Structure 1
């Protein structure tokens, strides 16, 4: 299973476009009056979709409660690109070096208050390296992600899944709160997320949508029926949208929005 888009639900697509294109230095793929997305290597794209449009599309299932904390880590091509981005973005805050590589990292906050972490790629290839989700029940979310088709990968104290050239990580929500207060999150005395790291999580109550591309419209219909039978709130039966995809939208118990879709015809 592969994450295709990581979509921030925003208020102003122009402001977001300017921030990620001119500030962070990402390559824009497409833009219209309500949507923009950016190509980052061969992994998932980073997208922005204006709240009124996505709320209308998702319908009554659109979450009414604030969104939980999450974090997107973006690898830029090299240290020079990282330094240039941090210099262009006024909100950039230098974080402690990443433990695994010792490389620099910066937290940047966009006009909607969404925070991402920028690091330099060790391979020279940009990508979204990781998406971390705070969830209220890791067992329930683990089961849900397996049902969607994501494969668990070797753990390092947290729960990871292979998202297709991106690591999808789930963290107990109250562990993030404990980390912010510098309180150990487990019996080992090591917080799942350090207090410094938690400062780089988006905590603005905004919402996140994760898009999964399937092979066919029939596959969309089958997965929709399965998820609906499990009690997830949905946008209604799968539909063919003007951009050429057969899609359906779900909201999981933590308020994360999931799009399942397949390309079935040329955009109208």
Structure 2
């Protein structure tokens, strides 16, 4: 038996024994996981992050303080990195941003940031093998998702503290909220083309990924950011944040894609209403 024949036999056996892994591998390869994660991270860094600070410049002082505290909690910021964050959100910087950009500039930043929404929508569509939704249907969803994302970021500090109860409540609460956010994100950006229940596996995996990376960020990012600032200045800060965003976005892409595959393969497909065999039988009966 030749090596080619033997490899084909092994592949055929693997496909029959592990259909979920085979389907997942094919979906990840066709969706280009690393490329999708990198593109998503780039759009987050170039569009969504500037939008966050632009909106903060027009927000009341209490909102800016809340944003500063939430970002500090998210990344465990200390030392030089924390000082830079305070400068970016202080009153003088906010006044400068308002004078430079104005309301029109903030609206332009909001429209530009929809590139991040579009990239996230494309991740969801590739995970489920769906075509792009029409702009007329999806445009308002991009805006709503962005504004909801800003609210989620603002609430990070009280959420992770369990609204005053402490981390023992904050951690499970953060996981539940993250799962709910990814469930709603998929349903919204897929334009309701997939019902709620099949989206649950991807939402749970997304919640797990977000929670684990949230804990990891507080352990890794403070030292990494301060070291990068000390050695390379602002450029080091940019590279460190972009590298971290790539990890986060790749993990989210993997989680949503894995969830879509799990929802459409045995045994979950029977419970989530995505059994392809039953759908095929129903279509055949309808044609008769």
> TM class, shorter-chain normalised?
under 0.3
Higher percent of residues as helix: 2
Higher percent of residues as strand: 1
TM-score (norm 2): 0.24
TM-score (norm 1): 0.25
